Structure 1
Amino acid sequence: MRFAAILAVATLTACAPTSNPSGNAEVSMNRIPETTGSATTARSAAPAFAAVAPTRVQRSNTEIAQDFMDLEFRMESGRPLAMLTRFEGPITVALRGQVPASAQGDLTRLLGRFRAEAGLNISQTQGAASITVEFIPRRTIRNTYANVACFVAPRVSSWAEYKQARGTGQLDWASVTRRDRVAIFAPSDASPQEIRDCLHEEMAQAMGPLNDLYQLPDSVFNDDNFHTVLTGFDMLVLRLHYAPELRSGMTREQVAAIVPGLLARMNPSGVAGRSHNGGRTPQPWVKAMEAALGAGGTARTKQEAAARALHIAQAQGWGDARLAFSWFAVGRLQVGHDPVAAANAFAEAARIYRALPGAQIHAAHVDMQLAALALSQGRPDQTLAFAERALPVVREAQNASLLATLMMLKAEALDLSGDSAGARAVRLDSQPWARYGFGSDAVTRARQRDITALAPSRLAMALKG
């Protein structure tokens, strides 16, 4: 109840005068990570996240079955897939190229989760592998696909093979009938967190579904990128994908007839429940969201795109993650222009996210935005409340960059409240997370400057009081 009240107060008071009227309270996901400074040192010093505890999927099996079928038999482009494909037999993984220092540890932990949670027969090898992860410079990937951090390709095992196969049918996923070898291309010079996130999502797609669904609140198979590590839902999907009752070459109808029984066995707590009316996401909404949050465009065109996405979501009658994400986009794009409208949009997004299973990390992102807004309005008590609510969720989700950002906001709020010693301690504690999440001390300092610029000066606070 206290947090709900704080949210309401933040919404109502976001229009209070501020000494930083031109400051941008949106401090997440707005800066391309740099790789300068002490990036090498940062990559070698991974912080110790607690082991991920397997989580039970909090949705009905009927709903999960719908999502599984949509994930399996359609690509992200909307192109249908005629059959299920997978590796048949043990799966091996190899790291190649300019392997970052952090990659081996993160891969070892990920393979352990695949074995324990998805029941996969998967191991690392130094020889020829089912899945080859080749690390190449970020600019090489972006020169191939703009705005892509990493990607997966079938029937190749190296970048040289991939380049030779481009423009041929060899790389066409729709023509694959069984997976024998797949390559993942990941950046060698990105932050440790970005590298880990690539391993999680691309390994899952190399072995399992190729699609992403915006309506999924509890999955990395969603282009909203709120989840950074594989979830309980994702592991259940992979367990289903490799169930002995299924095999490569099965049609949609054949798989659909078997999946309900598999889910009843694998997820007995999800037997009761209803289906959802999510359906396919129309391309106009996807295009509007890409225009709103992607690179390029003016502030006005981005705001118009976000408003268009929200209108489509409301017209569709959605009450799921897509409607919440639309509100989130509206909020982000109003922060520097209309703080009241931004706070109200974030409040709507938070209300929806908190009602969805598996969307706690989404709500934590909203709390970060509200904490930044509160800080820019000279309200350190609200900043602390939002940050404290989000921090445990973000730790559990293993999002180091968001964790560091929240800790920086907390430190500024403590400084503004007169607790300089507490602020110094929080900043010190944030450093390992910042290095892992941002990749270099230069980016960490830039993020800290962004957040420091949000807070009004002590003099302004005194005059305001």
Structure 2
Amino acid sequence: MLAGWRLRALLGGALGLALSACAGQPTVSDYREYENALTAIGDLRTDTAPEDAPFTNADLVRNFSRIALRHEVDIESAGSEENSAPNPVQRWEGPIRWGLYGRGATPQDHAEIERFLNHVSDLTGLVTHEVERDVNLMILITEPAERPAFSAALRQLYPALADGFDTWRASGRVVCMASNLFSVMDEDVIVFGMVVIGSEVTGLLRRSCLHEEIAQALGLGNDHPEVRPSIFNDDEEFALLTEHDEWLLRILYDERLTPGMSEEEAMPVVRTIVEEMRPGEPG
């Protein structure tokens, strides 16, 4: 299997203020201060259809290319044209069987994940359900003391995922992470996903991580500073999946697209899909 991962780094001025006194790994207090700094300047918005951020069909087509058909090169740097490389259409083709693990996980996390994946099913047609065995979407919310054991287990089962987990574990700049494994037979079909969040991340910032990283694991793998209104943007303006992002998921899982399509092959199809999905909207 081939592997790919992305990490959500803490970037920007709010981080410098929030973590200026932090030595080593950020604590619960550090992340709360970071969240408070973001909300104080109007970021981590929870409105999903903001009137101050309209988007046209042309915006949606362009943003699909930016988010679904590119990936970050330097996973600890901000998303941009310079920090991205092209990839073909990549997505799941079978049911998503998810499981939640780690001593940091709470009933609220479980409810949020279940609600979010049910919504994903409505948007994409993907079948999603929680299982005890044969999990192919593993969501880890771990405490620091248990991370070495998780790393060792991943190293035995999924070495490529362990590399990403250990990069996240060692970094003081990374809030949360998503990783994927791809089919040996078709390297653009996602067959396994992992989302990683530290128990130190709480509140709205944790909800934001769940939304963004699960969506990234579904195949929307890039960030770009000009994509708005969206969670696929390192400026942290929006915390939760927006209506714009829902359209990106619908497009990605439209049956007229297939894994492995190049940008040249996919974009004419994407334009047709958007025009049919949003008739009468500005082009």
Asked if these proteins are the same fold (TM beyond 0.5), I'd say: yes
- Alpha-carbon distance change, 269 to 94 in structure 1, aligned in 2, over 3 angstroms: farther
Structure 1 position 62 matched with structure 2 position 50: no
- Alpha-carbon distance change, 127 to 193 in structure 1, aligned in 2, over 3 angstroms: farther
Cα distance in structure 2, aligned partners of 1:137 and 1:269: 49
Cα distance in structure 2, aligned partners of 1:254 and 1:145: 38
The corresponding residue for 1:31 is: 18
Q: 1:116 aligns with which of 96, 116, 122?
A: 122
User: Is the 1:130–1:181 contact (alpha carbons within 8 Å) kept by the matching residues of 2?
Assistant: yes
Whichever residue aligns with residue 235 of structure 2, its letter is: D
**1:133 aligned counterpart, secondary structure:** strand
Q: 2:136 aligns with which of 120, 125, 130?
A: 130
Q: 1:208 aligns with which of 219, 227, 242?
A: 219
Cα distance in structure 2, aligned partners of 1:60 and 1:226: 19
Structure 1 position 218 matched with structure 2 position 229: yes
The corresponding residue for 1:84 is: 89
- Alpha-carbon distance change, 262 to 138 in structure 1, aligned in 2, over 3 angstroms: farther
Shift of the alpha carbon at 1:130?
2.5
Cα distance in structure 1, aligned partners of 2:201 and 2:102: 14
Structure 1 position 72 matched with structure 2 position 72: no
Cα distance in structure 2, aligned partners of 1:265 and 1:250: 20
Deviations 1:119-171 (A, max 9, x none): 44322222222211122236966543330011112229xxxxxxxxxxxxx9x
Structure 1 position 145 matched with structure 2 position 132: no
Shift of the alpha carbon at 1:84?
1.1
User: Is the 1:219–1:227 contact (alpha carbons within 8 Å) kept by the matching residues of 2?
Assistant: yes
Cα distance in structure 2, aligned partners of 1:269 and 1:99: 46
Shift of the alpha carbon at 1:222?
0.2
User: Is the 1:100–1:189 contact (alpha carbons within 8 Å) kept by the matching residues of 2?
Assistant: no
Whichever residue aligns with residue 108 of structure 1, its letter is: E
Cα distance in structure 1, aligned partners of 2:198 and 2:238: 19
Moved over 6 A (4+): 51-57
Cα distance in structure 1, aligned partners of 2:278 and 2:144: 40
The corresponding residue for 1:95 is: 100
| 1:48-447 alignment, distance < 5 Å | 58-77=54-73, 78-101=83-106, 102-137=108-143, 143-155=169-181, 176-270=187-281, 272-273=282-283
Whichever residue aligns with residue 264 of structure 1, its letter is: E
**Size of the alignment, in residue pairs?**
216
Whichever residue aligns with residue 89 of structure 1, its letter is: G
- Alpha-carbon distance change, 28 to 82 in structure 1, aligned in 2, over 3 angstroms: closer
Shift of the alpha carbon at 1:205?
0.4
**Gap runs ≥5 in structure 2:** 1-12, 20-25, 33-45, 74-82, 148-164
Shift of the alpha carbon at 1:34?
4.1
User: Is the 1:135–1:187 contact (alpha carbons within 8 Å) kept by the matching residues of 2?
Assistant: yes
Shift of the alpha carbon at 1:52?
7.8
**2:91 aligned counterpart, secondary structure:** coil
More helix by share: 1
User: Is the 1:138–1:190 contact (alpha carbons within 8 Å) kept by the matching residues of 2?
Assistant: no
User: Is the 2:223–2:234 contact (alpha carbons within 8 Å) kept by the matching residues of 1?
Assistant: yes
Task: Quote the RMSD (CA, aligned, Å).
Answer: 3.1
**1:75 aligned counterpart, secondary structure:** strand
Cα distance in structure 2, aligned partners of 1:217 and 1:244: 25
So what's the TM-score if we normalise by structure 2?
Answer: 0.67
**1:63 aligned counterpart, secondary structure:** helix
Cα distance in structure 2, aligned partners of 1:254 and 1:112: 30
Shift of the alpha carbon at 1:83?
1.6
Cα distance in structure 1, aligned partners of 2:219 and 2:101: 22
Whichever residue aligns with residue 35 of structure 1, its letter is: V
Cα distance in structure 1, aligned partners of 2:258 and 2:199: 35
**2:216 aligned counterpart, secondary structure:** helix
**1:150 aligned counterpart, secondary structure:** strand
Cα distance in structure 2, aligned partners of 1:76 and 1:153: 13
**Gap runs ≥5 in structure 1:** 1-26, 40-50, 157-169, 274-465
So what's the TM-score if we normalise by structure 1?
Answer: 0.42
**2:101 aligned counterpart, secondary structure:** strand
- Which protein shows a greater Rg? 1
